[in-house]
Structure 1
Amino acid sequence: MGEIAADRWIEVDLDALTENLHSINRFLADRTRLIAVVKANAYGMGAVEVAHTLSQQGVDFFAATFVEEALEMRRGGIDNDILVFAPVRSDQAEKAVNNNLTLTIASFHDYKVLSTAAFRLRRRTRVHLKVDTGLGRFGIEEEGVLELAELVNDDDYLVLEGVYTHFAEAGAHSSRYTWKQFRRFQGVLQILDQAGIRISLRHCCNSAAALKFPEMHLDAVRIGTLLGGQYPAGDVPKPILLHNPYRFKARVAAVRDLPAGCYLGYYRTYRTRAPVRVAVVAAGFKDGLGMEAFSRPGSLLDLLKILARLVLTYLNFSRFAMKVTLRGQSYWVRGKVFMQFCMVEFPPGSNIVAGDVVEVPVKRTMAAADVSRVFLKNGQPVKIELNERRLSYTGKGGTI
């Protein structure tokens, strides 16, 4: 691989992504359509290039959360079907319709917005009804589904292609609530069927539910986390061999040899216990290093686990300490993470110099948007998404 002229970047292995897709397809029944979820910039990997790669492997349906995410894919040359999960605002509606997006109707208000836009443009628009069976985020309640479906079905420009719901806790140890939601959804489908409203795409499974409840696959499943080489959190079976396509890389900015007793970082949170070689690495919390998504614990046990992890991290237990990887070996991040740097402890005399590249544990969905993405095939870069500083790549064929 040639030299990447950047302080930090993300490498995305498109071969690993392709292998994950093939493994998922082998797991699914032939009749089950795969909706590839590429929301949040394909979980930090780069939505446009990920979608191009998956499309070349036969994926013909994608999903994103917001209209702007889907429009970015259209601008990037993705002409496959794209389902937008979030309700569409009135100021976005005509643009969404004009770009042939498949849109969600989760309320009577959503219906009015999309019906008006499609009528103005005289353009037929595919829509999916979102039914709330117990997540509480958005979706039409069960008792209003038939009325709304009939409005959409009778509309001159809206095409009722699908209906879906979303599970609240598919990865939970107990499957009772997920089955309750599924039975509610089945009841909705039965009501629509009895009214003569035919739906071609019924879907309710995300990655966790797809693994845990094959009987709930219906016409399609929505897969995102698995494509990215990760199993979803929770109690899920792991029948698929997955490969990690994501690596966050950063350069060593400086190297220093320090004696025992030196403090590292703000507030002196770490003190060297012996002579060490310290590398200053060009990645910090601005890039996503050390950042965690935090929400209210789901149970007292969850709370205790979080508290235990914090205590063990404070005490520098190796399992919970942040580490970088250099030439296959792991080394501890010491002291507080700076905005754009971190400090890594190496043994005295370690073979490390400024400019060396290390792998840094930045979670993919926490990675800053301005970090360049380098896409690899056969271990070599095939495309680089540059950030606003217009970085360059120098290889055998010259500079990009």
Structure 2
Amino acid sequence: MQLMPNNRWIEVDIDALVHNLEAVRSLLKENTRLIAVLKANAYGLGAVGTARVLARHGVDYFAVTFPEEAFELREGGISTDILVFAPAGEREIEKAVEQGLTLTVASYRDYRLASEAASRFNKKVRIHLKIDTGLGRFGVTADRALELARLIHYDQWLVLEGLYTHFAEAGARSPKFTQSQFEQLQKTVDALTSNGIRPALIHCCNSAAALRFPEMHLDAVRIGTLLGGQHPAGHVPNKIKLKNPYRFKARVTAVREMPAGSYLGYYRTYRTRAASKIAVVPVGFADGLGLEALSRPGSWFDLFKIIAKLVGSYLNLSRFTVKVKIGKDEYPVRGKVFMQFCLVELPPDFPVEPGTVVEVPVKRTLAPSDIRRAYIENGCLVEAEGDDEGVLGAKREVVE
């Protein structure tokens, strides 16, 4: 039986995911709640499937960026608490109220829309008030937090469950700015408390801050990156061992035997030095292969690394060459990556044929969300997105 009916898919190792969950829990005090962040399709792992796994292992609070991400979780049968981070429009808020989601209020407008929707549905809505302490994205300033908190607290339709902020540079070398953000949050909490308002969940730590500043864990931490098996960038202590649950796989479409001196790809950017087998793999730019999330360099050293990588790639240096994995070994992608294919150079006697499984280094957040995910436990397929059987625990043998 083939693992998946199409020619490319993402495998999610449930055992690795659970390992990471338990590693994160080992950092937390008994009274600190874990909010598992599943934004951006659970960082590429698949939001619904990942939520089902985490819920089975005791996670009872999730968070996403946009309401539509939360709607997807509800449609997938996730009934636990879900916090929506971003402000939303009137229709989205109405649907969120109807589905029992927890909303962020970051302005008077957010408060008004939430209150009006709650009253129309005659339904209490839980609110987390967002304080902007320096990220500059959205949130009420600390000096206006008390005013808005009072409105929410005394509104008959709203419940002020949480208060939170988001750190701008938890991984920076100097902790001073993060500490100043934390102090602003604490002063806001003190001001609310002195006015008889104390939300049940005060939270500020993302994955990086949770590792670096255990004294800031408070009532809850928001963890996404660590659950996905990735250590946060920056000056963050590596306190726990993580496992990578993500594998992007594909089946070879065709195999060509090419003599020495053959050109490969658009503009003939690569020429074989010896006779080779060329495997055509159905993964390309459209799937995220060869793409990088590039932002403005944060330092001269960052700029140097970007330039070095480009030069190394142009010179076909092995360290900078994209490679796929077949079995336990890696083999180079040659020539320009196509929109939906790439060419892999193999030794002339390599045992490869159409249908051979290849692991491709597509970054998880760049992979298209519509590529199906297969959830693997103890080496067996237990669920696949869109699978008619689709029942956790109905294990089937994985054949590659």
TM-score, length basis structure 1:
0.95
In the superposition, relative to structure 1, how do residues 115 and 6 fare at CA in structure 2: closer, same or farther (>3 Å)? same
Q: Deviations over 1:69-109 (max 9, x none)?
A: 00110111111000000012112111110110000000011
Shift of 1:20: 0.8
Asked if residue 16 in structure 1 is aligned to residue 20 in structure 2, the reply is no
List aligned pairs for 1:86-101, cutoff 5 A. 86-101=86-101
How many Å separate the matches in 2 of 1:91 and 1:294?
Answer: 34
Q: Determine helix, strand or coil for the equivalent of 2:365.
A: helix
8 Å contact 2:13–2:375 — kept in the other structure? yes
List aligned pairs for 1:236-315, cutoff 5 A. 236-315=236-315
Q: Percent identity?
A: 60
8 Å contact 2:376–2:383 — kept in the other structure? yes
AA at the equivalent of 1:179:
Q
List aligned pairs for 1:293-372, cutoff 5 A. 293-372=293-372
Q: Determine helix, strand or coil for the equivalent of 1:63.
A: strand
In the superposition, relative to structure 1, how do residues 310 and 110 fare at CA in structure 2: closer, same or farther (>3 Å)? same
Q: Deviations over 1:364-398 (max 9, x none)?
A: 111112211111111111111139xxxxxxx9699
How many Å separate the matches in 2 of 1:370 and 1:337?
Answer: 21
List aligned pairs for 1:163-182, cutoff 5 A. 163-182=163-182
How many Å separate the matches in 2 of 1:10 and 1:372?
Answer: 6
Q: Determine helix, strand or coil for the equivalent of 2:73.
A: helix
Shift of 1:49: 1.3
Structure 2 match to 1:392: none
Q: Determine helix, strand or coil for the equivalent of 1:331.
A: strand
Q: Determine helix, strand or coil for the equivalent of 1:366.
A: coil
How many Å separate the matches in 2 of 1:57 and 1:310?
Answer: 43
Shift of 1:273: 1.4
How many Å separate the matches in 1 of 2:29 and 2:263?
Answer: 58
8 Å contact 2:189–2:198 — kept in the other structure? no
Structure 1 match to 2:390: none
Q: Count residues in correspondence.
A: 391
Structure 1 match to 2:68: 68
AA at the equivalent of 1:256:
R
AA at the equivalent of 1:283:
V
AA at the equivalent of 2:344:
V
Structure 2 match to 1:390: none
8 Å contact 1:37–1:62 — kept in the other structure? yes
AA at the equivalent of 1:142:
A
CA RMSD of aligned residues (A): 1.5
How many Å separate the matches in 1 of 2:141 and 2:298?
Answer: 25
How many Å separate the matches in 2 of 1:279 and 1:364?
Answer: 23
Bigger shift: 156-165 or 294-303? Answer: 294-303
Shift of 1:143: 1.2
In the superposition, relative to structure 1, how do residues 278 and 214 fare at CA in structure 2: closer, same or farther (>3 Å)? same
8 Å contact 1:97–1:117 — kept in the other structure? yes
List aligned pairs for 1:14-163, cutoff 5 A. 14-163=14-163
Structure 2 match to 1:220: 220
8 Å contact 1:108–1:148 — kept in the other structure? yes
In the superposition, relative to structure 1, how do residues 177 and 4 fare at CA in structure 2: closer, same or farther (>3 Å)? same
Shift of 1:3: 3.9
Shift of 1:2: 4.4
How many Å separate the matches in 2 of 1:169 and 1:366?
Answer: 23
8 Å contact 2:380–2:396 — kept in the other structure? no
Structure 2 match to 1:391: none
8 Å contact 1:126–1:158 — kept in the other structure? yes
In the superposition, relative to structure 1, how do residues 397 and 21 fare at CA in structure 2: closer, same or farther (>3 Å)? closer
Shift of 1:188: 1.2
In the superposition, relative to structure 1, how do residues 329 and 397 fare at CA in structure 2: closer, same or farther (>3 Å)? closer
Shift of 1:362: 0.5
Shift of 1:115: 0.8
Q: Determine helix, strand or coil for the equivalent of 2:186.
A: helix
Q: Determine helix, strand or coil for the equivalent of 1:319.
A: helix
Bigger shift: 17-26 or 294-303? Answer: 294-303
How many Å separate the matches in 1 of 2:323 and 2:120?
Answer: 56
Shift of 1:274: 1.6
Q: Determine helix, strand or coil for the equivalent of 1:185.
A: helix
How many Å separate the matches in 2 of 1:320 and 1:238?
Answer: 26
8 Å contact 2:380–2:397 — kept in the other structure? no
Shift of 1:253: 0.9
How many Å separate the matches in 2 of 1:7 and 1:65?
Answer: 31
Q: Deviations over 1:268-313 (max 9, x none)?
A: 1111112211111111111111121122222222222211221122
How many Å separate the matches in 1 of 2:386 and 2:275?
Answer: 39
How many Å separate the matches in 2 of 1:384 and 1:271?
Answer: 40
Shift of 1:361: 0.2
Structure 1 match to 2:392: none
Q: Deviations over 1:198-235 (max 9, x none)?
A: 11100000001101111111110000011111111222
How many Å separate the matches in 1 of 2:23 and 2:343?
Answer: 38
Shift of 1:126: 0.3
AA at the equivalent of 2:48:
V
Asked if residue 377 in structure 1 is aligned to residue 377 in structure 2, the reply is yes
8 Å contact 1:172–1:235 — kept in the other structure? yes
8 Å contact 1:12–1:374 — kept in the other structure? yes
How many Å separate the matches in 1 of 2:231 and 2:313?
Answer: 24
8 Å contact 1:2–1:396 — kept in the other structure? no
Q: Determine helix, strand or coil for the equivalent of 2:210.
A: helix
Q: Determine helix, strand or coil for the equivalent of 1:239.
A: coil
8 Å contact 2:382–2:396 — kept in the other structure? no
Shift of 1:237: 1.0
